[in-house]
Amino acid sequence: VRRVKTAGQKGVRTIVETVTYTDGKETGREVKSNTITTPAVDEIVEVGTKKVVAPVVTTKEETKTEEVAFQTKEVTNPDLPEGTRRVKTAGQKGVRTIVYTVTYTDGKETGREVKSNT
């Protein structure tokens, strides 16, 4: 990468001469002064030397399981006395399995997508 740090500028030089003419033709020229009125400014260009390393991107699958609560449903039964409750079928917790595809950039997690949820 190249970047201009300081823009260059032209300077100004002033030259004063005495010119001699004979019969309308120049016959002599003498420099009386030669001074730099405005100094030039050098252009400074920075040139990058830092090596840019491409990031390392990897993915892996992660599996997570979690419990799923059961629900309780009440149904009427005309054969039971009023106010009586009886468990007809015992509830059981379920299990949910979630599979993620996880993306890592230079070893740090940068993305996570659900691949399946069962």
Q: Return all residues near 66 (Cβ < 8 A) that are at least 6 apart.
A: 95, 96, 98
Domain-wise residue ranges, the chain: 2-47, 53-75+91-118
CB 70 within 8 A of CB 108: no
Structure confidence by residue, pLDDT tens digits, 3-32: 999 999 999 999 999 999 999 999 999 999
Structure confidence by residue, pLDDT tens digits, 32-90: 999 999 999 999 999 999 888 889 999 999 999 999 999 999 999 998 898 889 998 99
